[in-house]
Amino acid sequence: MKKILLTGLVVLGLFTSAYAEDGAALYKKCASCHGQTGEKAALGASKIIKDMSHADFVTALNGYKDGSYGGAKKGIMKGQVTSLDAAQIEALATHIVK
């Protein structure tokens, strides 16, 4: 039983690391507007994404994707997130939101 639990934790750790790496790679295209750590208000108008909760970040990206979230400049974000799937959105959230 201990071996199974330990093996499960190792696999989970590898899975989590893979998500973190994917999130970092995905975030590179976001950094020019949002800053290296999500510390900037993009175009002087967005929320500071590093300060958002994980759930709010995921909701925002999904909302941009389906057009139900954002203000006057939401079209810019829609173009950025349209190609992201649910796993990639989770990876981004895991990477940028603490």
Query: Domain 2-96, what fold?
Result: Cytochrome Bc1 Complex; Chain D, domain 2 (1.10.760)
User: SS3 helix, strand, coil % of the chain, rounded to 5?
Assistant: 70, 0, 30
Is the overall model pTM greater than 0.85, yes or no? no
Q: What is the pLDDT along the chain (98 residues), one digit of tens a residue?
A: 555 544 444 444 544 444 456 999 999 999 999 999 999 999 999 999 999 999 999 999 999 999 999 988 899 999 999 999 999 999 999 999 97
Q: Would you list the domain boundaries of the chain?
A: 2-96
**Residue 77 in tokens:** 């974000």
Residue 40 exposure: Cα atoms within 13 Å on the Cβ side: 10
The whole-angstrom separation of Cα 75 and Cα 37 is: 23
Task: Classify residue 92 by burial, with Cβ atoms within 10 Å: 0-12, 13-18, 19+.
Answer: buried
